[in-house]
Structures are given as structure tokens and as C-alpha cells.
């Protein structure tokens, strides 16, 4: 599963790196398509191997997330479409954290109606503590209530706004 023995490629030159990033910025997350794989922070490295193959390191958000194989296939397909030979390798460590969602990604989440993670995961133990007040992505009220710890995908909880009465998804801190 983990291609530990794969040859370590080199960081691509800046022009190539910019081009690769532009392509990946157009690859959406299959479950939250408003985010690109770059916004989500799952692309951990881009390397150019000696034979010219582009290696993309991908970190799964949750270990059982069914979107992960789709993300990897979509990345290879997008790069292949633009004439590159590409492979993905799994990057498990350090584990993906919601802190890696970009500022741009957080903004897009709110526009899409999903509350972004409320805090940085500085101490892992804080995940056992009750959540901070989560702001409703529609009316911005913090008078919100958790309906369920788990939502429509592993990465989200279900909330309801007590002010505008709308239900909404909250992207969990992890």
C-alpha cells in the first residue's frame, strides 16, 4: 500500500511546479467539490523522478474515507490529460489535519454552507473536549447546536442554527 521503496524524486523547477499546481487546483474533492485537492491540503509533495514521472504524495483525510482512491485517480487523470506521466504515493505521516485546509479553502467552505474547522489542532487531546461555539455559515450566529457527532461524510458533524433554524454541516477539527 505504501510505496516506501519508490525512488525519491527532486523538487520540480519553479515554472514546472507552478504549472503542476495550476492543474491540481482544478481537481475537485469528490465529496466537497467546492474545494480543490490543494485547498483540502491532501497533496503533501510534488516531485519529479529521474525518468520524468511526476510523483504526487497524497495524505488521506480519514483512514476509511472512500474519497481517497477517487482523489488519487483524479490527480493522475488530470496530470495525464496535460501530458505528464504521473503516479501518487500514500503519505501517512504526519497524519492529515484540518489545519492544512487553506485560507482560500475555508472561505469556499463558508460560501458553500459548511462551517470550517473552528480551531487549530495544537494539542491532540483537545479533541476530547467539547467544541467551541460554531458559527452558522449562513447567518453567522454562534447560537448553534450539535445534532450529531457524525454527518454525511466522515469529516463532518451535523449542526443546527438556533437563530435562523437552518441545519448545516460542520467540518470537524482533526
Interface residues with other proteins (CB under 8 A) are 1, 60, 62-66, 92-95, 97, 124-125, 127-128, 147-152, 154, 158, 172, 174
Residue 59 CB, shortest distance to other proteins, in Å, is 9
- Residue 77 or 147 having the CB closest to other proteins: 147
* CA–CA gap between residue 114 and residue 170 (Å, rounded): 6
Residue 64 to residues 120, 121, 170, Cα–Cα distance (Å): 23, 21, 19
Residue-wise over 1-14: b if at least 16 C-beta within 10 A, else e?
Answer: eeeeeeeebeebee
Residue 85 CB, shortest distance to other proteins, in Å, is 25
Residue 70 CB, shortest distance to other proteins, in Å, is 12
Residue 127 CB, shortest distance to other proteins, in Å, is 4
* CA–CA gap between residue 146 and residue 164 (Å, rounded): 15
- Residue 33 or 125 having the CB closest to other proteins: 125
Amino acid at each position: 500500500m505504501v510505496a516506501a521503496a519508490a525512488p525519491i524524486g527532486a523538487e520540480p523547477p519553479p515554472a514546472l511546479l507552478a504549472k503542476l499546481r495550476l492543474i491540481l487546483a482544478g481537481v475537485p474533492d469528490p465529496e466537497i467539490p467546492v474545494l480543490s485537492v490543494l485547498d483540502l491540503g491532501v497533496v503533501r509533495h510534488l516531485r519529479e523522478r529521474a525518468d520524468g514521472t511526476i510523483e504526487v504524495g497524497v495524505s488521506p483525510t480519514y483512514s476509511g474515507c472512500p474519497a481517497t482512491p477517487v482523489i488519487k485517480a483524479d490527480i493522475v487523470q488530470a496530470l495525464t490529460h496535460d501530458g505528464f506521466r504521473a503516479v501518487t504515493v500514500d503519505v501517512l505521516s504526519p497524519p492529515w489535519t484540518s489545519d492544512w485546509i487553506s485560507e482560500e479553502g475555508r472561505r469556499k467552505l463558508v460560501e458553500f454552507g459548511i462551517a470550517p474547522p473552528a480551531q487549530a489542532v495544537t494539542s491532540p487531546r483537545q479533541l476530547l473536549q467539547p467544541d467551541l461555539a460554531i458559527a452558522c455559515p449562513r447567518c453567522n450566529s454562534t447560537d448553534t447546536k450539535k445534532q450529531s457527532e457524525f454527518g454525511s461524510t466522515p469529516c463532518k458533524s451535523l449542526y443546527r442554527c438556533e437563530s435562523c433554524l437552518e441545519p448545516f454541516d460542520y467540518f470537524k477539527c482533526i
